[in-house]
Chain A
Amino acid sequence: MTNEEIREQIDAIFESAIKHSAVTEHGDLVVHVAVEQFLMLMAYLKQNRDYDFDYLSQITGVDYLEMDPDREFRFDVVYELYSMSKDHHIQIHVGLPEEEPTLPSVYHLWRGADFPERELYDMFGIIVMDHPNMKRLLMPEDWEGHPLLKDYPLTVEEVAFSHNPDHKSELIKTPEDMKVDPWA
């Protein structure tokens, strides 16, 4: 099946849940879905024999705070799915709001989602429900904060010197900035 045919079928079946679907100029199929029907769409993509999306390649999280602060959904989670037998390739985007960044897990569809979903929690604070082992992956267990958020500083130390005029110095905080006044 071509990308265009898959896109039309998905649009027809999931009408209101699909926020946006397109075949880009490079030929990639991109689908934006609402989080409420997200799990249904993923299960459908896996179980439909014509599509046969049996391979989950990666899960990426993006924080759009700096690029577009007025965006409806602060986070965007991108899933890359392939079909090994039929050579299909689809990219699913789910938008998550800042107040409630929760997402159902696809671990029971593709076991390969184990580590990437834990990484989403660790790096962005996105809580993935029904995951068998939801805890921090890359940072130490008692680490506070989620490093890849745009308002998390790159480092808490002063750079000793920098001749780089583009150095985004607002991201580099000094230890004094990071101190929290307990009586405030």
Chain B
Amino acid sequence: MIDVAVTQPDGPNEALVRLRNVSKSFARIVAVEPLDLDIRRGDFLAILGPSGCGKTTLLRMIGGFLMPDTGRIEIDGQDVTTLGPERRPTNMVFQGYGLFPHMNVEQNIAYGLRMAKVPKAESERRVQKVIDLVRLGELARRAPEALSGGQQQRVALARALVMEPKVLLLDEPLAALDLQLRKVMQDELRRIHASIGGTFVIVTHDQGEALGLANRIAVMNEGRVVQAGSPEDIYARPATRFVANFIGDANLFTGQRQSGHVTLAGGARFPDAGGDGVVFVIVRPEALKPSTRADEFPISLPATLVDMVYLGSHLKLKVALPGGQEVTVHDTDLSLRERIQPGGPVYLGWSAAQHRVIDEP
């Protein structure tokens, strides 16, 4: 049994889970296109995507519940492609939890240790430890059906964690909880990951959850990983229009690149390396700065303010470009309200570091 709390002997960049050319189809419908993915030791990886993008299929292949049609899966150097879930060093927290209704909390958690024939004393010690870790203390003898959703969630987590898996897999674990509880459980998951330092892989369709939990995100769409990287990377520099739109709000400007310069429809022009052709420039609402002057920011577009809403922490502006395109702007400078009026002119400015240029398509 390998302790998940162990430090990372091979350095932070070594891949613990290695997927090569892995694909899966169901009755001629491709769920996962052939893909490569590395999960590093100690990572908290979020596989993020809309429903039907293949993310759960991918997770179930890592867990051993589905056999890939092509490719191989390695965990810690061992080829596990054809092994069933009971023979993999992974454990899963299922969507809907899959608690054993005929066993109490303690028995649920001890089940895996019982299967592994762990001696009673050690089993009891480990169960107690993990019960403390997930803060289930006084509920140990309750039946699962007597627990709230959040408590059941903790049991499912404890039951997987007690096995000290090399990789903990979480399949939409928070989807069934209400918003309040989801926030609490997100904090819990972060705390547990920080305190035991294992490798976690979570599947989610909630971008907020991915950003809030993971130190690495793989965005999936139509069976492919379209972008993998740190949350900052993916938020600030989305690789495709899909990623930009799926994670947070994004404004999209169409432009033309010619001999190293991009010219936007609204007239702005800035240097950008790349081939000639149509490009999209993605700028986040909070990166756009409204201004009364055309030359305050390196890149600037003339526009008209349509509407301005006060949202407490910030203002939300609806701005129309001359061509009619609507742009959303978030700004924390509440004094803007005195300087510009709906119906009046405004310049939208930003710097090249805050946008991302994507070649079509």
A and B physically associate: no
